[in-house]
Chains A and B, each alone.
Chain A
Amino acid sequence: MLFSVYPRALALFYRSVLPLTGLLSAIIVGADRVSAGLLGTPWPPPLSAGLVLLKLSTFPLAAYLLRRMRPHQYGFYRNLHLAPWQLWAFVAVLDTGLFGGLMTMLHLLFA
């Protein structure tokens, strides 16, 4: 029973943080687009380790901001036996994967 609950709980948490992580992804893509224009390099670039690291570095900021905005958000998930680090580990893996997929798709379509 428990293991059928976890995917739904993780998906619920991901939906709740998606607006912020999506915004941070958009800022990364926008900044990359501007810098490519200034440097005259081709855009969209292929997915690189630097881009992935940049995306990963946004999660501590997202966790901090959400802790300030919704300090009680973990209570429900703790009642499902999920610790905050487990929730964020899932979000980091899924969101980075989606970001990587989006950047690769943009590169294949427009580069």
Chain B
Amino acid sequence: MPTLGFAPSAGLAHVLEADGIQLRFGNRVLLSDVYLRVDTGQIVGLLGRNGCGKSTLLQTVFGARSVADASVRLNGRRVVPAYRRPGLLNYLPQAPLLPPGLSVAAAARLLGVDATAALHDFPELLTQLNQSAGSLSGGTARLVEVLLLLHADTHFTLLDEPFTGVMPVHTEALADTMRRVKSRKGLLLTDHRYEEVLALCDAVYLLHDGRLELLADPQTGLRDRGYLR
């Protein structure tokens, strides 16, 4: 069983860093020269074109993908695979997260989340607490998954396309929830809705040709590189 010792402590700042991540598929270099840093109290965006390796990088940081020489550190201390450390981080993959037969309430209990508090800003979701995850629409299931992970007691949350399928009317409320949650944790997210991500993020990384670059001025940097008009 995992070792204990990373129980979140409110008010303390934590730093999650990842580097040394190199990955190639055949002759194609997917990731090289990667350094990533997320602090608690920060929302960090990870942008890039389809297939450039954003999801692979998140999986590697989480520990779901094993990469030789990858170093993931909490406050300078190596934590690989990171997901084995309770209270350190959680991760929303692109694919559906919750087992289809599990009810929303049961999933929340397993994740150690107060479901009523987590779904408080979305009253229509509260009526679906006892429904199985598999019976929810794609957008609703996505919203529930994001909210449960955001409210889980971890230092960091990694979100791979959290806005996908979420109704526009809910997008702004979800962004507000993320802004509130960041007071006690660090968020690392990737999404193709650049405008929403830029409005939300304190720092933005661009993954391009396998290299990760921290953009000093995200709007200008993305426009200069042809990612924004």
Contacts and interface: CB of A to CB of B under 8 A. Distances in A.
Interface of A: 1-3, 5-6, 8-9, 12, 15-16, 71-76, 78-81, 83, 86
B216 interface: no
B35 interface: no
B97 A76 contact: yes
A75 B64 CA distance: 8
A12 B99 contact: yes
Interface of B: 1-2, 4, 62-64, 81, 83-86, 90-91, 93, 95-99, 101-102, 107, 109-112, 149, 152
A76 B93 CA distance: 9
Contacts, number: 55
Dominant secondary structure at the B interface: loop
A79 B63 contact: no
B111 A79 contact: yes
B99 A1 contact: no
A74 B96 CA distance: 11
Given A3-B1, A76-B99, A86-B1, 15 more contacts: A2-B2, A8-B109, A12-B102, A12-B110, A72-B93, A72-B96, A78-B62, A78-B63, A78-B91, A79-B83, A79-B91, A79-B97, A80-B110, A80-B111, A81-B2
A76 B100 CA distance: 11
A18 to B, nearest CB: 12
Given A75-B91, A79-B91, A79-B149, A2 B99 contact: no
25 contacts: A2-B2, A3-B1, A8-B110, A12-B99, A12-B110, A71-B95, A72-B93, A75-B64, A75-B93, A75-B97, A76-B98, A76-B99, A76-B107, A78-B62, A78-B63, A78-B64, A78-B83, A78-B91, A79-B83, A79-B90, A79-B91, A80-B111, A81-B2, A81-B86, A83-B83
